[in-house]
Structure 1
Amino acid sequence: MHARAAAATTTALLGAAVVLPISTAHAAPAAVSSDHPLVIAHRGASAQAPENTLAAIDRAARLGFRWVENDVQRTKDGQLVVIHDDSLTRTTDVEEVFPDRAPWKVKDFTAAEIARLDAGSWFSPRYTGARVPTLKQYMNRVSHNHQKLVLEIKNPALYPGIEQETLKVLSNEGWLGPARVRSKLVIQSFDADSIRTVHALRPDIKTGFLGTPSVAELPAYAQFADQINSSHTTISLGYVAAIHALDGPHGKPLEISTWTVDTPEDTRRVAGFGVDGVITNKPDVVREALRED
């Protein structure tokens, strides 16, 4: 998520974002109390491993965090892959492997070509050889780790029909059964129309909008979004209260999760606002701050 994207989303009807819990996994450190905001590992434990890779969600699991967040985009041949940027340049060696393919957009490469790229050494030599996972590969690892997922559809305007394709992959991998839909999955986007589409196709799925709509706009968002995920720099005690005063499409109070919170000071500040969740690159730092509060 980027703050500039949030600023672009204050147009009339956008969607809402998601917040989810964190619990222990694999005998890792105990989860924070349910009295605290929920903690979500942003792109996995992305301060300790390369974002959106299997290594990042494995690291989150080892730290004891059950909920992870990721980003989904589409390749030239219609495969869904987990990567944040619409360009491959920041987090892979695409410019070395394919020097004549500028501007190196995800949509201009096949899944097989992307699978050749190193998505780890930019972060640390320790992760040399990490790959950009397909959504199918990612979901298999999330299942293996007994994790839960906040899935962000990135740049849907670039990929018409990506909502239906995402749901198809989730269904094929067993993620649209009642148990997972009820408590293990959220789909979110900065794009309101994308969230509306998901809600129309599968009204049972929890959905979220990324941004900070005005208080006056919130009732419209609450028709199709269960949560609003706002940048921590854009919210206040009053704004959080305005969100909680509304019911979402499933008849439950609208929720708010805030991003990207990486310091103890910011953690304590947003916890004081009463947010439902915290999305963070440093879930261990956030957990410790909440325990000290």
Structure 2
Amino acid sequence: MYARTVPAAAAALLSATALLLPGSAAQAAAPAGQHDAPAVIAHRGASAYAPENTLAAVDAADRMGIDWVENDVQRTRDGELVVVHDDSLARTTDVEQVFPGRSPWKVKDFTAAEIAKLDAGSWFGHAYAGARVPTLKQYLNRVDRNHQKLLLEIKVPALYPGIERDALRVLRQEGWLSRHHVRHSLVIQSFGADSVKEVHRQRPDLTTGFLGTPAVAELPAYAEFTDQINPTHTSLTADYVDAVHRLKGVHGKKLRVNTWTVNDAAGAVRVRDFGVDGIISNTPDVVQEAVGS
């Protein structure tokens, strides 16, 4: 998803804000029992507190007691899946210094071995110098070790024909297509409707999500291949959430709504009161405190 990570200084301020907004006060904004507490999902890991999409961000979410993490998956020139948000490596690594002549530093133009040389942490803070861009295999193993769950985003699928097949292969190799994982611990989403359809075609048992805010009239068509409609919080209304919930998804259960990217207590309470099922956040501790998850 496209909301940028909160810089380290702002993260500290958000943390302090969370301490001033105890969950009891935030919850008082809605009548007791009006809605179940939504799931809280760490966006690119706890990315306000550690460099996004790194193992450090996964671990930061784990220390906060966050069960779900979200990540972004792209493919290298030699076919390895790596966890990185932008289709260029320039913003979150030192690729411009290590490979100065290879602008615009697209992920798809580098091998996995080349990407493994990059520092993916120093841009965020000295404490994370030397952090690496993880492969999807490394990321899955860390999430599994922490007993967490994964909302996996297939990024810009048009750049990587066949990436759905590749992702499913890695998930299978790492044990993530076991019955337990499929039922309880894995959702695959994308902004690309065709990509979501392809995942469903290849593995109809998997839970899928579409990133975006389709028109209400179009929702029945999406319900034919997905289980979740996951819109940005700025596009969300209570009526829209109700419209989604009135439909059953591809597995015959109520369509769910996970909204992104909510990083403050007031915003979290607002979307909770709309009835969303999940809130994706760079500051999952702030959101968790606010909504009482």
Equivalent residue, structure 1, for 2:102: 101
**Cα deviations across residues 222-259 of structure 1 (Å, max 9, x unaligned)?**
00010010000001010000000000000000010100
Q: Partners of 1:257 and 1:72 in 2: how far apart?
A: 19
Q: What is aligned with 2:117?
A: 116
- TM normalised by structure 2 equals 0.88
Partner in structure 1 of residue 291 of structure 2: 290
Gaps of 5+ in 1: 4-31
1:291: how far off?
2.9
| Distance in 2 between residues matched to 1:35 and 1:237, nearest whole Å | 15
Residues of 1 paired with 2:257 and 2:112: CA distance?
Answer: 35
Partner of 1:217: 218
Q: Which has the higher contact order (CA 8 A, sep 6+)?
A: 1
Return the letter of the residue paired with 1:158: L
What secondary structure, in the 3-state scheme, does the structure 2 residue paired with 1:238 have? helix
Q: 1:239 is paired with a residue of what secondary structure? A: helix
Structure 2 unaligned spans of 5+:
4-26, 28-32
Distance 2:218 2:69 in 1: 28
TM-score by length of 1: 0.88
Distance 2:292 2:84 in 1: 32
Deviation at 1:35, TM superposition (A): 2.5
Shift in Å, 1:288: 1.2
Q: Give the Cα–Cα distance (whole angstroms) in 2 for the partners of residues 78 and 203 of structure 1.
A: 24
Give the distance between the partners of 1:234 and 1:63, measured in 2 at CA. Answer: 28
Aligned length: 265
Same amino acid, percent of matched pairs: 68
Q: Specify the SS of the correspondent of 1:70.
A: strand
Q: Which amino acid aligns with 1:2?
A: Y
CA distance in 1, matches of 2:238, 2:36: 18
SS of the aligned residue for 2:292 comes to helix
Displacement of 1:128 after TM fit?
0.1
Q: Which residue in the other structure is 1:76 paired with?
A: 77
User: How many Å separate the matches in 2 of 1:36 and 1:116?
Assistant: 42
Aligned AA (1:237): A
For 1:235, the aligned partner's letter is L
Amino acid aligned to 2:2: H
Q: Distance in 2 between matches of 1:157 and 1:237?
A: 32
Give the CA deviation at 1:108.
Answer: 0.3
- Give the match for residue 248 of structure 2: 247
